[in-house]
Amino acid sequence: MLKSLNFKATIVAFLLLVVLLGSWEWMNQKPQATQALSEYELLMGGASQQAQVPPPSEIIKLAYEELSNPFYDAGPNDKGIGIQLAYSVYRVLVGFFLAALVAIPVGFLIGMSPLMYKALNPYIQVLRPISPLAWMPLALFIIKDSELSAIFVIFICSIWPMLLNTAFGVSNVRKDWINVAKTHQLSPIQTAFQVILPAAAPTILTGMRISIGIAWLVIVAAEMLVGGTGIGYYVWNEWNNLDLASVIFSIFMIGLIGMILDMILAAAARFVSYQE
């Protein structure tokens, strides 16, 4: 039953793909030229009077070219898609892990101490809704480095879900398990690592998963601002080049990498999950 359900779902998904790509392809055909085009006309998009969204066939062709040599580097404005994505992933991971380094211990503190929770909560509530990009000018001024500023923006946007989820997970550890730690005379450090951390780990991982999703959303916008390298810069650069095929191709690549990042953390979450 399940197998046939999967099979049916695959068929439906495939049909949808054919219909969507087919109609996209069909609606965006270049009109046939009635006479031979000049070199200038070819460059400006053939005989069409209006700019067209490039059809899927063109994008697949571009994707094939780009992906068969993803790491070429031909100067500051011509790098392979692989290099651009690697820059973005690198910034996201650095910002994300720095945030985890701060958020998880602070979340522990807030979760374990009602006093610290009450004391820090107003700051968290004010800082959390700020769009991470709003920090960018201040970050650029203080850090004076666009690369580090982008990482800072990732840091500040990934910190909140991890912080709040850690605090929530830690404060909701079952009283029974804390009592087990107490009756076995565990020190506070041992209790934190042997009981509270494994008990709260699934909640913490959920926070990390939300964080990396947000970080990946934000990096594109951040790189459009700071420029230089990265997939966000690449998208904006290709828009300036009026190369819509490249824009659409990189949109798909952003989705693909975002999915992979999420899958990695989902696998980590499965690893620490437990059944009560």
Partner 1 sequence: MSKHSFLEIQGLKKSYPGQTKGEETVIFEHANFNIEKGEFICVIGHSGCGKSTILNILAGLDEASDGLVFMNGKEVSGPSLERGVIFQNYSLLPWKTTLENIVFAVRAKWPHWPKEKIIEHSKHYLSLVGLDHALDRKPAQLSGGMRQRVSIARAFSTQPELLLMDEPFGALDALTRGVIQEELIKIWSESKQTVFMITHDVDEAILLSDRILLMSNGPHAQIAESVTVSIPRQRKRTDIIHHPDYYKIRNHLVDFLINRSKDLSGVATQVTAGQQPKTINLAS
Site for partner 1 in 201-260 (CB under 8 A): 201
Give the tokens for residue 243: 């190369």
Question: By C-beta, is 199 or 247 nearer to partner 1?
Answer: 199
> Rg of the chain's alpha carbons, rounded to an integer?
25
Site of tokens 């011509």: 78
214 Cβ contact partners less than 8 Å away, ≥ 6 residues apart: 157, 158, 161
Stretch that binds partner 1, among 9-17, 129-137, 180-188, 260-268 (CB under 8 A): 180-188
Reading phi first (left if > 0) and then psi (alpha if -120 to 50, else beta), residue 167 is in alpha
HSE toward the beta carbon, residue 71, CA cutoff 13 A: 2
Stretch that binds partner 1, among 43-51, 76-84, 144-152, 183-191 (CB under 8 A): 183-191
Q: Does 269 bind partner 1 (CB under 8 A)?
A: no
Q: How far is the CB of 132 from partner 1 (least distance, A)?
A: 34
Q: Which long-range contacts (CB under 8 A, 24 or more apart) does 185-194 make?
A: 192/108, 192/112
Stretch that binds partner 1, among 33-41, 53-61, 70-78, 190-198 (CB under 8 A): 190-198
Give the C-alpha separation, 272 to 276, whole Å. 13
Q: Does 172 bind partner 1 (CB under 8 A)?
A: no
Cα–Cα–Cα angle for 121, 123, 126, rounded to 5 degrees? 110
Q: How far is the CB of 174 from partner 1 (least distance, A)?
A: 8
Question: By C-beta, is 80 or 111 nearer to partner 1?
Answer: 111
Stretch that binds partner 1, among 113-121, 155-163, 171-179, 262-270 (CB under 8 A): 171-179
Q: Which helix (H) or strand (E) holds 112?
A: helix 81-112
Q: Does 274 bind partner 1 (CB under 8 A)?
A: yes
Q: Does 268 bind partner 1 (CB under 8 A)?
A: no
Query: Quick one: which of 5, 183, 189, 240 contacts partner 1 (CB under 8 A)?
Result: 183
Give the C-alpha separation, 97 to 4, whole Å. 41
- The residues that touch partner 1, with contacts defined as CB under 8 A, are 176-177, 179-180, 182-186, 190, 194-195, 198-199, 201, 272, 274-276
